[in-house]
Structure 1
Amino acid sequence: MKRLAWWLIGIAAIVGICVGLHEITSYSAHAQQSATITVGSMGSDYEVWQHIAKSQDAKKMGLTIKVKQITDGVQLNKATADGNVDVNAFQSWSYYQTYNQQNPKAKLAALGTTYLEPMGIYSKKYQSIDEIPDGATIAIADNPSQASRGLLLLQKAGLIKLAANFGVLGSVKDITSNPRHLKFKQIDDTTGPRIIKSVDAVLISNTVALEGHLHVLRDSIFHERLNKSTKDNVNILATAAKNEHRASYLKLVKLYHRADIQKYIKQKYYGTKINVNKPLSYFDN
């Protein structure tokens, strides 16, 4: 009986050890899976983050990154708010603010800055801003954040004046002075390069310009510069509001600004993605 009891105790111990090892293995696999950060992006940013995910810098920082492509900005922000995407990398500060204003129950939080992609004014008919004639037609994006950004650029170029309280949801209705009697044609902002010959000038974001084989620093007749007046156009990394202090997500900001990563981005995009490594307080008035 004693021998039988000891045999039973031994078998129970072995079973317990096996179960414990299985639980540890399952826990480790789950922990490894949960440590993977899903970064949602689109266009050239998708390519950038694919490179970052495979980089030695990511490995050195202990970050496992999966990159997911979602080609609609609103849907990408919604996926982030819902938790289907951990962090997104595609939007400017003004786009982010507009989204939060329009979606108060599903707000996002900014993690840090990445770059400024200058918006440009392009024309196949004129070589400079001064040549744009009276009554010219200017193509401008039909989405609020890009439209307001374009109007601010037109003001900077001296073509129009805007209301003093012009904000991220500003529109052509906020133009207070239009001395050249410019006409505005709203377009899908992804079509800018294709319609450039059919209008006098068109405002094109750099992501779209690159896809249309246009170089903002070389081909535009006027473009944004990095200064306080363009701070709202600086791109950011964003996450669901509840995750804004998550350490691994904040590491992505540092990862983006690593020297090797910046060297790749500069070479790949011909210097048109201007690195902006600033604290979030940079956006304060």
Structure 2
Amino acid sequence: MEMRKGKKIFFTALLALSLVLLVGCGKSASAAKSNTITIGSQGSDLNIWEHIAKSSQAKKLGLNIKTKEITDGAQLNTATSSGQVDVNAFQSWSYYEAYNKQNPKGKLSALGTTYLEPLGIYSKKYKSIEEIPDGTTVAIANNPANTSRDLLLLQKAGLITLKKNFNALGNTKDITSNPKNLKFKEIDDTTGPRVLNDVPVVLISNTVALEGGLHVLTDSIYHEQVDQSTKDNVNILATAEKNKNNASYKKLVKLYHNKEIQAYIKKKYYGTKIEVNKPLTYLENK
């Protein structure tokens, strides 16, 4: 009788211990999941964050990073706003501002600056801006922020003039002078290198150019310079507005600017992703 009682106590204790361990494991798994930061990105930015996620530098900061690819910028921002993605890494300051203006109920918040990639004007027919003849068709991006950026570069190149209050949501209707009677063809800006075979002049972002085997500093006939006039084109990390003070998310900015990470980026992308380590006030002050 005593032996049976002892066995009963033993199995009861074992069952209780198993339940404790199961609950503990569940909590640990849940905690690990909650400590994971999902970064949404695309193209070469995705490749960079895949590298960063596996790096010893991320481990030193206690950051568990998971990447998620979303190739459409608007969808990526929407996914970030709704919480499907914690932080995104793909957009310029001007793209971010344009998105927030168009989506007042799903605003994002910038966490910090990352880099500037010069936008380039490319052509297989002409070797300089001066060679572009009257009536030439120019391909520009069909999304608001990149459309305005393209037009600003064309103005900088002396090809057009824009109205004085031109902003991130500006378009071809804001052109006040077009002396060469350029014709504009709006394209999906991820197709730039392919379109270059059919359109004489194409504006291509550097991320897309690199994927198409083009180097903005050597292959474009004109490109942005890194100065005050291009600060709206500096790329940022962004999150949902409610997460703007999240300490772990802010560590991602520090992680991106780690010297070893920067050495990797510079080598892999031939110096075309120019580091910009500035406070957000640098972009906010007009």
TM-score, normalized by length of structure 2? 0.92
Higher deviation after alignment, 232-241 or 10-19? 10-19
CA distance in 1 between partners of 2:44 and 2:14 (Å): 55
Letter in 1 for 2:210: L
* Corresponding residue pairs, total: 284
| Partner Cα distance (1:84, 1:143) in 2 | 23
Q: Tell me which residue corresponds to 1:123.
A: 123
Q: Which residue of 2 aligns with 1:99?
A: 99
Question: SS at the partner of 1:66?
Answer: strand
Distance 1:67 1:131 in 2: 44
SS of equivalent residue, structure 2 residue 191: helix
2-structure distance, mates of 1:25, 1:104: 41
Which whole-Å CA distance do the structure 2 matches of 1:32 and 1:13 have between them? 28
CA displacement at 1:74 relative to structure 2: 1.1
1:202 is aligned to 202
What residue in structure 1 maps to residue 78 of structure 2? 78
* d(CA) in 1 for partners of 2:191, 2:36: 35
Instruction: Note if 1:159 corresponds to 2:177.
Output: no
Residues 28-37 or 6-15, more deviating:
6-15
**3-state DSSP class of the match of 1:184?**
strand
Q: Which amino acid aligns with 1:47?
A: N
SS in 2 for 1:91: strand
CA positional deviation for 1:10: 9.4
Query: Could you list the per-position Cα deviations for residues 120-173 of structure 1 after superposition, in whole angstroms to 9, with x for gaps in the alignment?
Result: 001111111111122222111111111100000011111111111000010011
Aligned residues of 1:125 and 1:197 also touching (Cα < 8 A): no
User: How many Å apart are 1:28 and its aligned residue?
Assistant: 2.5
In the alignment, the residues of structure 1 paired with residue 136 and residue 31 of structure 2 have an alpha-carbon distance, to the nearest angstrom, of: 60
Query: Distance in 1 between the 2:144 and 2:33 partners?
Result: 38
Deviation for aligned residue 1:9: 9.5
- What's the CA shift for 1:228? 1.2
Displacement of 1:14 after TM fit?
7.3
Deviation digits for residues 58-85 of structure 1 (CA, Å, limit 9, x no counterpart): 0111100001111111111111111111
Gaps of 5+ in 1: none
2:214 matched residue in structure 1: 214
Aligned-partner Cα distance in 2 for 1:194–1:138:
14
Per the alignment, in what secondary structure is the counterpart of residue 197 of structure 1? coil
Stretches of structure 2 that go unaligned for 5 or more consecutive residues are none
Deviation at 1:24, TM superposition (A): 3.5
Distance 2:210 2:10 in 1: 69
Corresponding position of 2:61: 61
CA distance in structure 1 between the partners assigned to 2:247 and 2:214 by the alignment: 38
User: Between the two proteins, what is the percent identity of the paired residues?
Assistant: 67
> Which amino acid in structure 2 is aligned with residue 80 of structure 1?
T
Paired residue type of 1:37: I
